Structure 1
Amino acid sequence: MKIYLQFLILILFVTVSHGQYSEVRGGINEIIAKVPAGSDYSILIIDAETMDTVYTRAHRLPLIPASNTKVVTSAAALHLLGGDYLLATELRYSGRVDNSGTLNGSIYLRAQGNPFFTSKDLENFVSRVKQQGIKVIDGDVVGDDTYFDEQYERSQYVGAGEGDYETYPLSALVVDKNTFLSGKKFTSPPVAIAQRFKQLLVNAGIVVRGEAVSGETPGNSTLIKSVEIKLSDLLKTVNKRSDNFLAEYTMKLISAAVNGERGSTKNGIKLCMAFLNDCGAYLKGTTLADGSGLSRRNYIPTGVIVSIYQYIYSNIVFRSQFYSTLSISGVDGTLRGRMQDANGENNLHGKTGTLRGVITLSGYFKTKKGRDLIGAVFFNFSAGYPDFYRGVQDQIFEYLINSL
């Protein structure tokens, strides 16, 4: 099936139905004519059902995609793991609790892929410890961060030269997306989180004889409580809010969950590239450097992005779940203020992208006559303002909605 689909998509990119769309292409060319000379752009619009090419301009030209990189990350995660895949942060203990309420062992905070764990959840864990009848912890309070590697800083997991776009420390064990670590010197996020938890335990009257440390949870530990979310809930925030921290977390999560290893950006990227190959994308020049699109070392043509949308569209299992992660024009997310006319509002389900000199847009939309289209319009520019290029994108999508 994958080989067959790949063949069809490759045929799509070399076959254009000239007669049917000649007038539409002329209209789009008039819109594009407004773009300042020297600007690079890549455009591809296809019919989702027939896979006919409606409009194409340099669809194989790799450009900086900005947050359209999140389309790759989120679609790969959904494809590889499924929307119902559970992500957890666990509270566990080793040893036994004696009749006096002393735990002859340690308490563990074990990360299993939940980046939504909060301070409130941490406080609830304290209550759970007390409910176990534990009054004294003879061992340590341990932050188990072994689900991911120890490359916490962006310069480590993406590479040097990425300092302009720092995110919060990227550990597997997370509290409040690690915002409390912002601006602080630290050597180990899991130790910092363990220290917070230890202090909460002490404040609640529980004696802790050991230290706050990092380490791995023993296989024979006892589960007290697990706070879980579905992958689909994570991906909604990644795409609708264009959350960079969560996108980078998702890239490492893919590696950890699929390979059963300590998750890493490097191996997550390998899995994403393999997914793009499964989509039948023409990958020459395509480069992934991170999961969020903050890096200017990402290069993706619109042809690759459209291949992803088409692959998901053809998969009944994932289509609705992926749709639900995307912003909706005039309604929510990063498209809330876009395409607010009668036919554009609540129509485009898509993803925006913005960096200095970069404006990108992609997504699914429906024409007035009921045709499902997939489109991607990327601009890399040095002249003009971002809102100008957003306006050109909106004009292209609105023109297609009203013309077909």
Structure 2
Amino acid sequence: MPARTLPRFVLFSLALALALSFRAPASAEPLAGLPQNTLAAIKARLAKAQGSRGDMACVIIDLDSGKSLLDESGASLLAPASNMKVLTSAAALATLGSDFEFVTRVMAQGSVQGGVLQGDLCIVGGGDPNLSGRFYGDDPLALFRDWGNRLKALGITQVSGNLLYDSTLFGGESFNPHWPQDDQFNRWYCAEVSALAFNDNCINVKVTPGEVGQPARIELVPATAYCSVVNETRTTAGKGAALIDLRREKGANVIRVKGNVPAHGQGGFVGEITVADPAAFAATVFRETLEACGVRVTGQSRAHTLGADELPRFRTLIEHRARLVEALKPVNTNSQNLHAEMLLRQLGLAYAGKGTFKTGAAALQDWLVKNQLWDNGMVLADGSGLASANRVTARSLAKTLALMARRSDAELFVASMAVGGESGTLKKRMYDKRLKGRVYAKTGYINGVRALSGYLHGTRHRVAFSILMNGCAEGTGAQDDILALLAEALD
């Protein structure tokens, strides 16, 4: 799973640096075209990577002139994998705006008498994907603990009523029917979507060795009664890596942990597994954290729609705001599917007043059409690219990137991308000096698909590019080779 810890100052420091570096060099003139030898070398590398049965497209656009420098099968409809996130995140930033904020509220009904809230407490999800430890030293309870302490500071030590939770800002299916229908629902990249999301809608599982021949020790992070564990592990003699499998049944939160953990191995195992009904998960952990902070809830925890008729009876005790730009980097640097799907539903909410996949897809298509980025036949099956049914064009992706580069907030969008040889899904590739620190891009991987779309900054010129590969003989190595050839022409 992508690393969660990401201090806020890192995002904005990077954005500031990119705001300077992203500008065209003062002495640069628009690129008239790529040298013929460069074009020939790129086309030859594309052909070799494509093989006899693959489908491939490559589009390169000069950012200074807007001119297309290369368009190989740019209109071909191909599966983009996670390059779908380029379209979703671009539309979100352009439509919602860089100042957009997700708002999560803790609300109360009734008065406080003698430390007791004489009524219900309600946590209302606002579609914030970062209610987690991502900005808090990887401590998933940091926010909830802060809220508990703030409630206590307001004089509340007990809630006589229920803990309500409202996740109705988003509707429709929580698990996309186009996603894998096997046991991959356990994996972090298949987390259910909810307007009240917590810890990426996953729970971490830490497994450490016990006595040889005995079960290993298992710890849930955060510790919660929401999930139970069936321990089918064994501590073995010797060294080596732990081999652990995490599974649960659909709709259930009983986690079956199987495998062997060497007593003198490499420190055990840390993994994660999705939870069923993530809004209930968030509410359960919030309640447990409140009680740890000294705020006891007497009643039940239950789902509730805070309707317009009863809203006047509730007052806001805590309002947590998070900026949209803080959600973009996990999407494009670490390829966080949940974030992308939640952004798509926010688009739908702004577009049609309903935060569903269908309204989100309609909003995304409308934005693409209005900006002349839509190609006939494109299929938007989800917002993250996990669905193999998605079909887009490399031309649409490259043109979207070029459009975003012309915006006044371009540096925020570029800053959301993985950086070649340095961060996210590009950290372990592009060490070539021609590419390291100069490629800002979104990767894409699903079965049979390898995609890469983003920006390449030369010393004299800058381009947007998209390379889509479906069923090809080669993958990421060929993409890097193509960009290295391109980089030489931009310096």
Q: TM-score, normalised by structure 1?
A: 0.87
CA distances 1:282-305 after superposition (whole Å, capped 9, x unpaired): 411211101111100001110110
Do the aligned residues in 2 keep the contact of 1:126 with 1:200 (CA within 8 Å)? yes
* Map of 1:314 onto structure 2: 406
Name stretches of at least 5 consecutive residues in structure 2 with no aligned partner: 1-30, 133-140, 204-226, 228-246, 254-275
Query: Within the alignment, does 1:185 sit opposite 2:271 as a pair?
Result: no
After the TM superposition, which residues 22-171 of structure 1 pair with which residues of structure 2 at under 5 Å, given as runs? Answer: 22-35=36-49, 36-98=51-113, 100-118=114-132, 119-149=141-171, 151-155=173-177, 158=178, 162-163=181-182, 165-166=184-185, 167-171=190-194
What is the total number of aligned residue pairs between the two structures?
377
Counterpart position of 1:398: 484
Match of residue 355 from structure 1 = 446
Larger fraction in strand: 2
Report the Cα offset of residue 249 of structure 1: 1.7
Query: 1:70 Cα shift?
Result: 0.4
CA contact (8 A) 2:63 2:463 kept: yes
Q: Which amino acid aligns with 1:393?
A: Q
Moved more, 291-300 or 250-259: 250-259
The alpha-carbon deviation at position 86 of structure 1 amounts to: 1.0
Separation in structure 2 between the aligned mates of residue 193 and residue 305 of structure 1, nearest angstrom: 35
Q: For residue 341 of structure 2, give the secondary structure of its aligned residue in structure 1.
A: helix
1:250 pairs with 343, 346, 351, which one? 343
Give the secondary structure class of the aligned counterpart of 1:42: strand
Cα deviation, 1:185-235, whole Å, max 9, x if unaligned, reads: 167433343333334444555443321111133422222222222110100
The residue aligned with 2:315 is: 222
Give the drift of 1:333.
1.3
Q: Secondary structure at the match of 1:245?
A: helix
Q: Secondary structure at the match of 1:222?
A: strand
Q: SS of the residue aligned with 1:33?
A: helix
**1:380 and 1:400 mapped to 2: Cα distance?**
22
Q: Distance in 2 between matches of 1:150 and 1:299?
A: 22
CA deviation map 1:166-193 (0-9, x unaligned): 3222111112122136836167433343
Q: Which residue of 387, 403, 409 maps to 1:295?
A: 387
Q: Does 1:176 align with 2:199?
A: yes
CA distance in 1, matches of 2:471, 2:463: 26
The alignment partner of 1:44 has SS state of strand
Q: Quickly say closer, same or farther: Cα 1:329–1:207, change in 2 above 3 A.
A: closer
The corresponding residue for 2:271 is none
Equivalent position SS for 1:76: helix
The 1:351/1:188 distance shift into structure 2, 3 A limit, reads: closer
Q: Could you tell me which of 339, 353, 366 is aligned with 1:274?
A: 366
Structure 1 residues 282 and 107: alpha-carbon distance in aligned structure 2, compared to 1, 3 A threshold: closer
RMSD, aligned CA: 2.3
Give CA-to-partner distance per residue, 1:130-186, whole Å, 9 cap, x none.
22212332221001111111522333xx47x64465322211111212213683616
Runs (5+) with no aligned partner, structure 1: 1-16
* Letter aligned with residue 208 of structure 1: V
Of 312, 320, 324, which aligns to 2:415?
Answer: 324
Between the aligned partners of 1:269 and 1:379, the Cα distance in structure 2 is 24
Amino acid at match of 1:189: P
Equivalent-residue separation in structure 1 for 2:369 and 2:440 (angstroms): 24
User: Which amino acid letter does the alignment assign opposite residue 335 of structure 1?
Assistant: L
Q: Is the 8 A contact 1:162 1:295 kept in 2?
A: no
The equivalent residue for 1:379 is 469
1:83 is paired with a residue whose SS is coil
AA partner of residue 191 (structure 1)? A
Check whether the contact 1:154–1:163 (CA below 8 A) recurs between aligned residues. Answer: no
Q: Percent identity?
A: 27
* 1:209 equivalent in structure 2: 298
Q: How far is the alpha carbon of 1:378 from its aligned partner?
A: 0.9
C-alpha displacement of 1:102: 2.4
Compare 29-38 and 138-147 and name the one that shifted more: 29-38
Per the TM alignment, residue 312 of structure 1 is displaced from its structure 2 partner at its CA by 0.8
For the residue of structure 2 that corresponds to 1:216, the secondary structure is coil
1:244-277 deviations in Å (ceiling 9; x for gaps): 121112211222244433x111111111111111
- SS at 1:154's partner residue? coil
The reply on whether 1:345 has 2:368 as its aligned counterpart is no
- Match of 1:131, as an amino acid? A
8 A contact 1:45–1:53 mirrored in 2: yes
1:197 to 267, 283, 286: 286
1:338, 1:204 → 2: CA distance? 45
Task: Give the letter aligned to residue 196 of structure 1.
Answer: V
AA partner of residue 67 (structure 1): S
**1:367–1:400: 8 Å Cα contact kept in structure 2?**
no
Determine helix, strand or coil for the equivalent of 1:225. strand
**2:112 counterpart SS class:** coil
> Distance in 1 between the 2:105 and 2:161 partners?
18
Q: 1:375 to 1:197 in 2, by over 3 A?
A: closer
What secondary structure does 1:34 align onto?
helix
Whole-angstrom CA distance in 1 between matches of 2:454 and 2:478? 15
TM-score by length of 2: 0.72
1:49 is displaced (CA, Å) by 1.6
Is the 8 Å Cα contact of residues 282 and 303 (structure 1) preserved in structure 2?
no
Paired letter, 1:376: S
Task: Please say if residues 142 and 191 of structure 1, whose CA atoms lie closer than 8 Å, have aligned partners that are also in contact.
Answer: no
